Structures are given as structure tokens and as C-alpha cells.
Amino acid sequence: MQALRDRVNRSLEEARAAKEIGKSLEAKVTISANGEEYDFITAQTDLDKLFIVSAVEVSKNEALGAGLEDIEVGISRAEGIKCPRCWTFSAAAGSDPEHPELCPRCTAVVKNA
Ligand SMILES: [Zn+2]
């Protein structure tokens, strides 16, 4: 897990250095993997929290090798608006009319409080 986080952090640093993103929460991470590595990554929960980004998408690419060094990590700007409660970007923000500015995760937390 640490190795995966290091791998993603390296890509985040590169994107930040290239001014593609500012804070890591502005980023969406796209991971392509195969074999055991894909199974390992998709078995994890809360990857977005682990990487401190707004979204993580994992897809299978059978052309890749099955090791951690074979995965491909893409960084792009997260879509949506910034939730004022957790600073995460969410394309689904505003789905609840009572909390139009909050992301779905925060809306659930606020409603259950
Ligand atoms: Zn939120």
C-alpha cells in the first residue's frame, strides 16, 4: 500500500510541478493496472482519502504487466465544484436541494448529525 501511495504521490508531484493542479484535492487520479495489482487496488476502500485527492478511477488494462511498476497513473483536474466542508471537488454536489453546496459524502454526514 505504501508503495502504491508513493507511486501516486510521485505522479501528483509531477502534475503539481507542471502546474496542472494546485492542491492534491484538485486532482483526479486515474489508475490503469492488471492482474494481481489490479485486484489489490480495487480491493482497497477510500483510495481518494489515502491519496488526498477528489476522485480515483481504477481500470483494467490487460496490456499491462501485473506488478506495481507496471501500473499507469494519470492525473487530471477533478470535475465539479469544491465542497466547502471537506474541500473535495465533486461533480455530484448539489444533488440535495437542502445542501446544494455540499458533496454527497458531506450531505450524508450532515443529515445524520
Ligand atoms: Zn464534502
How would you write 64-77 as a 3-class SS string? Answer: CCCCHHHCEEEEEE
Q: Please give the angle made by the CA atoms of 27, 39 and 11, to the nearest 5 degrees.
A: 25
Tell me the CA–centroid distance for residue 103 and ligand 1, in Å.
Answer: 4
Tell me the CA–centroid distance for residue 68 and ligand 1, in Å.
Answer: 31
Q: What band does 78 get if pLDDT is binned at 50, 70 and 90?
A: very high
Q: Are 41 and 31 in contact (CB under 8 A)?
A: yes
* 50-to-3, 54, 101 alpha-carbon distances in Å: 12, 11, 24
The count of structural domains within the chain is 2
Tell me the CA–centroid distance for residue 99 and ligand 1, in Å.
Answer: 10
C-alpha cell at 95: 444533488
Q: Count the neighbouring beta carbons within 10 Å of the beta carbon of residue 3.
A: 9
pTM assigned to the model: 0.87
Same-domain check for residues 71 and 85: no
Same-domain check for residues 50 and 18: yes
Region 13-23: what's the mean pLDDT? 95
**Which pLDDT score, from 0 to 100, does residue 60 have?**
97
Domain interval for residue 50: 1-78
We report the CATH number of the domain holding residue 60 as 3.30.2320.20
Same-domain check for residues 31 and 74: yes
